[in-house]
Chains A and B, each alone.
Chain A
């Protein structure tokens, strides 16, 4: 049972490039989330999804897009990367009716 898997673990992007952060979970969780964590800060919610085909904005959605075509996958798309998007990105999932969030190992992104 792999849990929540994020790829890649590390990435360096140039300003203006785009990329997709991948997140997949094998626990059949309906709820999935993307957070970012800047140094010395807590996690901020970017986007979330309560099920396949349903997504919604969190606290800091600007510059990002998501899709949820399957229960398992919740990719995060960065278009036109900016230095302000340098951060550690965490994907998480929760089983409906439960409260424990399971986090992936994170993706450390640097935009230069």
Chain B
């Protein structure tokens, strides 16, 4: 059974600092990795996707993938109060299409002003 593990938090980070979110996955053949942000009572929205080992940067967000360690992380630089949300790590055996996504339970991030 595919599993995705995250620390549920809450993770409290001062405004302007770097927030570091981590995720491990069990299925070694997983190909695609995603970070979704979910505000309370809202639907998830995609903020980052990564497919190969290394770092991928998009604005204040950096996703990191290490397939040998089965580990994915998300760094949020210059954290803002609007970043306070639950961050869901998701994994797919393919491109996120044909087989759907396996989600972790999410990490609740709180940015303290």
Contacts and interface: CB of A to CB of B under 8 A. Distances in A.
A42 B88 contact: yes
A94 B97 contact: yes
A94 B94 CA distance: 13
Given A90-B43, A100-B49, A43 B8 contact: no
Given A43-B44, A94-B97, A104-B43, A99 B49 contact: yes
Given A42-B4, A43-B44, A99-B32, A31 B97 contact: yes
B98 A42 contact: no
Contacts of B16: none
Contacts of B42: 105-106
A98 interface: yes
Nearest to B51: A99
B32 to A, nearest CB: 6
Interface in A47-105: 48, 50, 58-59, 90, 94, 96-101, 103-105
Contacts of B102: 45, 59
Nearest to B2: A59
A42 B105 contact: yes
A105 B45 CA distance: 11
Given A94-B96, A99-B97, A101-B96, A42 B104 contact: yes
Contacts of A104: 43
A50 B102 CA distance: 17
Contacts of A90: 43-44
Nearest to A32: B100
B46 interface: yes
B97 A96 contact: yes
A105 B38 CA distance: 11
A58 B100 contact: yes
Nearest 6 pairs of A and B residues by beta carbon: A42-B103, A103-B43, A99-B96, A45-B100, A43-B103, A42-B105
Given A40-B105, A42-B105, A105-B42, 13 more contacts: A33-B101, A35-B103, A43-B90, A43-B103, A48-B100, A50-B98, A90-B43, A94-B97, A96-B97, A98-B97, A99-B34, A100-B49, A106-B43
